[in-house]
A and B are shown apart, each in its own frame.
Chain A
Amino acid sequence: MALRVGFTFVKLNSLRQATRLLSTHTRPDVCQNGGTSDFPGAKAPYVNEIKFLNENSYDPIPIYRVMDSNGRVIDSREEPNIDKETLINMYRNMIQLNQMDKILYESQRQGRISFYMTNYGEEGIHMGSAAALSPRDMVFAQYREVGVLLQRGMTVTELVNQCYGNCEDLGKGRQMPVHYGSKQHNIVTLSSPLATQMPQAVGAAYALKRTPNNDRCVICYFGEGAASEGDAHAAFNFAATLDCPIILLCRNNGYAISTPSSEQYKGDGIAARGPAFGLHTIRVDGTDTLAVYRAVASARELAVSNKPVLVEAMSYRVGHHSTSDDSSAYRPVEEIQKWAKDESPVQKLRLYLEGKGYWDAEAETQCVKEARETVVRAMQHAEKKKLPHWKEMLEDVYYDMPPRLQKQMKEMEEHLEKYQEHYPLNKYLNE
């Protein structure tokens, strides 16, 4: 009897071994375990088989979408409830953004502004997310989120003035073009160092959480390249451990300048990192404005109840990285074409609007024309404006100007009195 039992045991064991060997399942079996461990660092069961986990151990995180490529809603239950006016406004802002990008990009080529970055292919992420937020929510952005600013109510004039750095630029002409910011619209001024805004956004979210009856959250945008920075790691971890009301929104557009995402990370994109940090996570089709809207609206509900969320919005960077980049040097033109035409977020939203009877060819022509005129007018005005007074160069370094800086300002003043003809003073405000 004992022998029989022993034999069965051996048979069972070899069967188990065989199943293990044949299995494509890469996670170790938890059966026959000794219960859950008491290690303070993790709540987990014991296993007695050696198996290393890798990027294939888990299924890829699926991509949430609402519309198909033709702007048709796939499952009517998922269609967000956005009123007509807002929908049209979102679409008009997309057109506005495209026209602004087109004209400012050209004007950089003509040397009228020093630098520019376009937003082609990512308009859906901008409008979808911005429309799902409250205007009181704080925005921390990277640099390719101009649609968010437009949707928030920043005017083309304000944006163009920044690119020219003229006397009406809210930033007083101190930063490179596209480094926008507006206190009035709760948009924290952008800076060039990548991912630095991420832990800052988490800190801001913590401050909001501590305000009485808080109903605000923070949204922080970043690219998949920036997510490789140490600050991204810091932000994910701080957001989760300190329970911050924040939405961390990654624009995964496949490239960081010339570096494809295959050279940026080995795992399942950025989204797969979310659960590992204890963040609520979703991956969404960034070319589907309605999907982004729904994902961010739901994320916002979680965030304001102090549950931090990571959203990875998949898209494709249709334009060059910036005016200092020629992307045909590192990627095929056919690839760009596919995303520019078949999977364009602008086209998808237009088809959706047309399907609802909210939009037609005539409205399109009219809207493009108006958008163009708005930008051209803003540029004509911006170009006529003087640059700020040179003294603004030394203001705002500190809240009050320290004596040493006052001295330096005086020194420059005396220098200019003597050598003014060597400086472009006529382009600058004079008092």
Chain B
Amino acid sequence: MASLLTQKSLVVGKLTKYVNDCAKRLSSHFIYYPDNEKPVSGETTKMNMMQAINNAMDITLRDDPTAVLFGEDVGFGGVFRCALGLQDKYGKDRVFNTPLCEQGIAGFGIGLATAGATAIAEIQFADYIFPAFDQLVSEAGKARYRSGAQWACGALTVRAPSGAVGHGGLYHSQSPEAYFAHTPGLRVVMPRGPIAAKGLLLACIREQDPCIFLEPKILYRSAAEEVPVEDYTLPLGKAQILREGSAATLVGWGTQVHVLLQTAQLARERLGADVEVIDLQSLLPWDEDTVCNSVKKTGRCLIAHEAPLTCGFGAEVAATVQEECFLHLEAPVQRAAGWDAPFPHVYEPFYLPGVWRCLHHLTRLLRY
């Protein structure tokens, strides 16, 4: 009887370990830090990021009769449900499916914007934006310039879910921001949560330049905040300081911001260091002043992003910090990034620059 009990508890123990391991494997690599500050006063509603994006598009379709929303499977609400209910509300000619063709979606959107309509295009995953690379880089980014400002497609916004999701493998995990950040004429934006997503997306839609809006897909449901109900925008090209500190400056965007916020907390607890955390928000054009002023104050800088290290956007930030803050730097600028490999499936926990890798870099930075 006793041995049976032991055996039973052993089985249960094994089972629990298995379930825990599974949960560990599928769990996200970060803790979500909700925004407490509201950009505008007034009524708020609890929304996750998917709902906040839906809300921004709802406001646009409501107030701008030329606005249309299109892409693969957006008619029934989109595979991430961001367009949920919008076709019923605004009609099939305003919210519609396109054929499965990314270069077509981008080109079609440029044309709409050229003819004066507001175009919100959805690329189902940022991993599939590359067939549209030519349209976005050669055409959208250069339309105003090459025509002497006679023509432009500034009313185009391309939304794409991006970033790691736990099990996305090579083609459901990528962060392609650096490819686009090398293209003068485009704006590249990535929000860190619902409040930022609504404000920045509305800004992108109204901005007179073509915008690529990369939505960290892992936050669609996991991030929830009290989001202002009314119409508001957040400025493009502006970074935001989320945590003040004097020991080092940590720069990130998208989901990585939450990794850095947790790193900052660990640094306080374990290293007794107060570090500053900056969400870049806009990658092109980006806010050099906020970052460089912070580094001039702290003397140390760590940049972290999910995308691979080599030629990642961190390289641009590091080079600028080095150039602008040379006399203030107490240590070489550090970068924690994805490894220079395709984004892997089962190795994701080792691939991402998670909180422990960031802490490792930060420790090196502080002890240099």
Residue of A nearest to B96 (CB): A242
What's the least CB distance linking B52 to chain A, in Å? Answer: 26
Task: Determine which of B93, B115, B131, B138 lies in contact with A191 in the assembled complex, contact meaning CB atoms within 8 Å.
Answer: B138
Query: What chain B residues lie within 8 Å of A424 (beta carbons)?
Result: none
Q: Would you call B116 an interface residue if the criterion is a C-beta within 8 Å of the partner chain's C-beta atoms?
A: yes
Interface flags, B38-82, vs A, CB<8A=1, else 0? 000000000000000000000000000010100000000000000
CB pair A200–B148 under 8 Å, yes or no, is no
Please indicate the chain A residues that have their CB under 8 angstroms from the CB of B119 in the complex: 203
A142 nearest CB across to chain B (Å)? 14
Q: Does A234 contact B (CB under 8 A)?
A: yes
- Closest CB-CB distance, A200 to chain B, in whole Å? 4
A172 to B150, CA, bound (A): 10
Q: Which residues of B sit under 8 angstroms from A85, Cβ to Cβ?
A: none
Question: A398 and B209 in contact (CB under 8 A), knowing A174-B145, A174-B148, A200-B107?
Answer: yes
Contact B111 A171 (CB under 8 A): no
The total number of A-B Cβ pairs within 8 Å is 162
Q: How far is the CB of B65 from chain A (nearest CB, A)?
A: 9
Task: Select one of A174, A200, A402 contacting B114, CB under 8 A.
Answer: A200
- Give how many B residues have a beta carbon under 8 Å from the other chain's beta carbons: 50
| Residues of chain A within 8 A of B127, CB atoms compared | none
A-contacting residues, B176-210, CB 8 Å = 184-185, 187, 207-209
Which residues 50-86 in A have Cβ within 8 Å of B in the complex?
none
Docked CA distance A389–B178 (Å): 32
Residue of B nearest to A169 (CB): B148
A residues near B139, Cβ cutoff 8 Å: 191, 193, 196, 200
B106, B145, B207, most chain A CB atoms within 10 A:
B145
CB–CB B147/A181 < 8 A: yes
Judge whether A417 is part of the interface by a CB distance below 8 angstroms: no
Cα separation A237 to B108 with both chains bound (whole Å): 11
Query: Is B107 in contact with A234, judged by CB distance below 8 angstroms?
Result: yes
Return chain B residues, CB-CB under 8 Å to A404: 285-286, 288
Q: Which of B11-19, B97-105, B212-220, B328-336 contacts A (4 or more CB under 8 A)?
A: B97-105
- B107 near A206 with CB under 8 A, answer no
Task: State A205–B185 Cα separation when bound (angstroms).
Answer: 24
A201 to B153, CA, bound (A): 13
**Are the C-beta atoms of A237 and B101 separated by less than 8 Å?**
yes
Min CB–CB distance A160 → chain B (angstroms): 16
- Distance to closest chain A CB from B338 (angstroms): 26
Select the stretch in A24-32, A144-152, A182-190, A326-334 that faces chain B.
Answer: A182-190
* A189-B150 CB under 8 A given contacts A196-B134, A403-B285: yes
A403 CB contacts on chain B under 8 angstroms: 237, 285, 288-289
Bound-state Cα–Cα, A234 to B111, Å:
13
Report A220 CB to chain B, min CB distance, Å: 9
Give the shortest distance, in Å, between B51 (CB) and chain A (any CB).
27
Q: Which one of A188, A231, A395 lies within 8 Å of B104 (CB-CB)?
A: A231
Q: Are B103 and A189 neighbours in the complex by a CB distance under 8 Å?
A: no
**A395 closest partner in B (C-beta):** B149
Interface membership of chain B positions 277-290, coded 1 if the CB is closer than 8 angstroms to chain A and 0 otherwise: 00000000110110
Minimum CB distance partner of B286 in chain A: A404
The reply to whether the CB of B172 lies closer than 8 angstroms to some CB of chain A is no
* Interface check A368, CB cutoff 8 A: no
Assess whether A210 is in contact with B99, with CB atoms less than 8 Å apart.
no
- At the interface, yes or no: B268 with Cβ under 8 Å from chain A? no
B residues within 8 A CB of A203? 107-115, 119
Given the complex, which residues of B lie within 8 Å of A233, measured CB to CB? Answer: 101, 104
Within 8 A of A (CB), among B119-160: 119, 131, 134-135, 138-139, 142-152, 154
Tell me which of A171, A189, A397, A400 contacts B184 (CB under 8 A): A397
| Cβ-based interface call for A241 (8 A) | yes
Tell me how far the C-beta of A110 lies from the nearest C-beta in chain B, rounded to whole angstroms. Answer: 27
Chain B residues whose C-beta falls within 8 Å of the C-beta of A140 in the assembled complex = 111
Q: What distance in Å separates the Cβ of A157 from its nearest Cβ neighbour in chain B? A: 16
Assembly CA distance A241 to B105 (angstroms): 13
Complex CA–CA separation, A398 to B145 (angstroms): 8
In the complex, chain A residues 73-127 whose Cβ is within 8 Å of any chain B Cβ: none
Q: Contact at B96–A210, with CB atoms within 8 Å?
A: no
A215-235 interface (Cβ within 8 A of B): 218, 230-231, 233-235
A205's partner among B111, B138, B144, B288 (CB-CB below 8 A) is B111
A280 to B289, CA, bound (A): 56
**Which listed residue (A175, A207, A395) contacts B146, Cβ 8 A?**
A175
Give Cα distance in the complex from A3 to B288, angstroms: 94
Give min CB distance, B273 to chain A, whole Å.
31
Bound form: Cα–Cα A205–B116 in Å: 11
B142 pairs with A206, CB closer than 8 A: no
Residue on B with the closest CB to A220? B111
Question: Which of B112, B131, B149, B285 interacts with A402 by CB under 8 Å?
Answer: B285
- Max chain B CB contacts within 10 Å: which of A172, A202, A238, A400? A238
Q: Output the least CB separation between B9 and chain A (Å).
A: 55
Question: CB-CB < 8 A to A335: which residues of B?
Answer: none
With both beta carbons as reference points, the residue of chain B lying nearest to A196 in the complex is identified as B139
Assuming the A-B contacts A196-B139, A399-B209, are A237 and B147 also in contact, with contact meaning beta carbons closer than 8 angstroms in the complex? no
The reply to whether A237 and B135 form a contact with Cβ atoms under 8 Å apart is no
Does A208 contact B149, Cβ atoms closer than 8 Å? no
* Least distance between B105 CB and chain A CB atoms (Å): 8
With A196-B138, A203-B114, A399-B154 given, is the CB distance from A235 to B107 under 8 Å? yes
* Contact, CB under 8 Å: A206 / B237: no
Contact call A191/B112, Cβ cutoff below 8 A:
no
What is the CA–CA distance of A179 and B96 in the complex, to the nearest angstrom? 34
Chain A interface (Cβ < 8 Å from any Cβ of B)? 138, 140, 169-172, 174-175, 179, 181-183, 188-189, 191, 193, 196, 198-208, 210, 218, 230-231, 233-235, 237-238, 241-242, 395-400, 402-405
25 pairs from A and B in contact (CB 8 Å cutoff): A196-B107, A196-B135, A199-B103, A199-B135, A200-B114, A202-B108, A203-B109, A203-B110, A204-B112, A206-B68, A206-B117, A207-B116, A210-B68, A218-B115, A230-B103, A231-B103, A231-B104, A231-B134, A237-B104, A238-B101, A241-B98, A398-B285, A399-B144, A399-B154, A405-B285
